[in-house]
Copies of this chain bind each other. A is one copy, B any other.
Amino acid sequence: MDTQVNQPGFAGLRTGDSVETTVHIVGGKWKGVILYHLIEGELRFNQIRRRIPGITQRMLTLQLRDLEKSGVLDRVVYQETPPRVGYRLNALGRTLIPLITMMKEWGDSYRGQLSAEPIQPSVLVE
């Protein structure tokens, strides 16, 4: 399948689309949350799954593969029985931590904001 555009340069994106580049990597329904949980350290497949209620095995696999391709995380295979696989942010992925953290915090305060004063569409006429 491959839910992600090809590297390098993400064909279709032009110079100046750096914001979109980041969105491609961190965006979508699951990648942000996955990355967020990996901040705490290496996690196994099912550990991630348990931390993200609602995600299916298929989706988790796909998103992890995308993140691997993007080069932000490593997949560690332990040769044991039962099989064990770990996922962890690599050096490049760790540079995402401030961003992910900021997204988490902004989302938190936005939600607080919402319950405090519901948004009313503001169309200003001048």
Q: A-side interface residues toward B, CB under 8 Å?
A: 7-9, 14, 17-23, 25-29, 32-33, 35-36, 53-54, 68-71, 74-79, 90, 92, 95-96, 98-100, 102-111, 113-115, 118-119, 121-126
Contacts and interface: CB of A to CB of B under 8 A. Distances in A.
A20 B7 contact: no
Contacts of A29: 20, 23
Given A19-B36, A102-B102, A106-B99, A123 B75 contact: yes
Most buried by B among A8, A32, A69: A32
Most buried by B among A71, A74, A75, A99: A71
Contacts of A104: 18-19, 22
